Amino acid sequence: MEPDQQGTQVSALLGNTDFRAKATLGVAKAALCLLLPLTILNFVDGNTSVALVSSYVLVLLALNVYLVVNSRCHENVTTYGLVLPGMVLMSVVFQHNAIVASLWCYPAIIACYCMLSRHRAVYVNLFILTMAVPQAIRYLGPEYSTRIAATLIAISLFSFILVRTIDQLNSRLQQRLLRDPLTGLLNRLSMKDTLQEAVSLYEAHSQAATLLAVDIDYFKSINDRFGHEAGDLALTELASIFDNNLRDTDKAFRTGGEEFLILMPATHEKEAYKIAERLRRKIELADIIPGDSMTISVGAAQLRQGEDWQQWNKRADDHLYEAKRLGRNRVTLSNRKHLNVIDIRKNAARTWHDT
């Protein structure tokens, strides 16, 4: 599968895990189907005020559908357009029929947990309970109001527990989609969107960025000599060195068996070269392979004007192949000698020795 197709696939998968967007779409569509006939009937029966309120709700529900379909934020419309006016309307209904008003509080609570973020849903539900419970006590008396208050609180609590569980499972799903299970590094599926974001930052703000394409030298021989468990250990040790030595803003991906990619935002090529040299030297000196040293080859490429993320990634790969052609265990900047690589390596080695 091509990287572009993989990026589209992961975006679709992650989109499918956003259950609130799907729940909002489902709730809005169901409410539209249920409310539209009642609105028409109220107009026919001459209940103009009720029909106008229903029409307002219909418009906001339709707006919610539009926002979700177009992948835009719908929470503000739900909170300020539906919930707040809805509770004001509910206060009016309590004065005329407290039983009916109380019953409508139950789906309102569940709908909020389905349509809003968990934290916002908690605040909105506290608002609903604060308005509904005192009015139930006022208009229904202690016998019914106590039961209504207890069941409303129970529904809110159960909904919170359910949504929190779904959020936790959703977070684990996203981790599995975006992270390599062996090394814990970002995987190839998450690469496209991350690199595209760096390209967009460069186009908008001229923020430099450099890619490091990394490959373990003679990795097949490690598996052949010591077994696949040793190969897996080598990969996890390499990922640990990345985690401990890269900056917080840098992002490391495992893109293949022994292939890695490191994105260095706000970093020029020469600076990235020095960091790559320190990584290369640290890996070479690390006790990863019993009685031997493991080395890496690295190709560095700074983002250029007019490049897309694929062209940029290909240049980093080309520089990696150049490093392998020149003998491995080195960092190269370009197939052309436009920079004095030997001098830079000496400076990097001096910097490493000083640290």
Using one digit for the tens of pLDDT, what is the confidence trace for 262-321? 999 999 999 999 999 999 999 999 988 877 889 999 999 999 999 999 999 999 999 999
How far is residue 97 from each of residues 91, 93, 103, 106, measured CA to CA in Å? Answer: 10, 6, 10, 16
Distance CA 42, CA 59 (A): 16
Answer for the pair 250, 262: CB distance below 8 angstroms, yes or no.
Answer: yes
What residue type is 205 in one-letter code?
H
Q: Which residues form the domain of 15?
A: 3-178
pLDDT for 334 equals 66
String of DSSP letters for 219-285: HHHHHHHH-HHHHHHHHHHHHHHHHHHS-TT-EEEE-SSSEEEEEEET--HHHHHHHHHHHHHHHHH
Is pLDDT of 169 > 90?
A: no
SS3 at position 187: strand
Residues 52, 167 within the same domain:
yes
pLDDT for 349 equals 44
Would the pTM count as exceeding 0.75?
Answer: no
Q: Point out the domain boundary residue: 117, 145, 178.
A: 178
pLDDT for 336 equals 45
Is pLDDT of 13 > 50?
A: no
Answer for the pair 289, 222: CB distance below 8 angstroms, yes or no.
Answer: yes
Q: Point out the domain boundary residue: 178, 212, 236.
A: 178
Reported as a pLDDT band with limits 50, 70 and 90, residue 177 is confident
What is the CATH classification number for the domain harbouring 221?
3.30.70.270
Distance CA 124, CA 109 (A): 8
Identify the H or E element spanning 302: strand 296-302
Answer for the pair 191, 7: CB distance below 8 angstroms, yes or no.
Answer: yes
Per-residue pLDDT of 202-244, as tens digits, reads: 999 989 999 999 999 999 998 888 898 999 999 999 999 999 9
Residues 228, 331 within the same domain:
yes
Q: What is the largest CA-CA distance in the chain?
A: 91
How far is residue 171 from each of residues 19, 114, 179, 231, 238, measured CA to CA in Å? Answer: 12, 17, 12, 29, 26
Residues 10, 43 within the same domain:
yes
Residues 174, 246 within the same domain:
no
User: Is 143 an active-site residue?
Assistant: no
Structurally, how many domains does the chain consist of?
2
Per-residue pLDDT of 106-158, as tens digits, reads: 988 988 888 888 899 999 999 999 989 898 888 888 888 899 999 999 999 99
Q: What integer best gives the mean pLDDT of the chain? A: 84
- How many Cβ atoms from other residues are within 10 Å of residue 261's Cβ? 25
Residues 28, 118 within the same domain:
yes
- Bridge-based pairing of strands 251-254 and 209-216 is unpaired
Which range scores top for mean pLDDT: 92-101, 159-168, 332-341?
A: 159-168
Q: Point out the domain boundary residue: 140, 159, 178.
A: 178
Active-site pick, 258, 271, 277, 284: 258
pLDDT for 347 equals 46
Q: List strands edge to edge, sheet with 209-216.
A: 186-187, 251-254, 259-265, 209-216, 296-302, 331-332
Residues 103, 196 within the same domain:
no
Q: Give 260 or 73, the one with higher predicted confidence.
A: 260
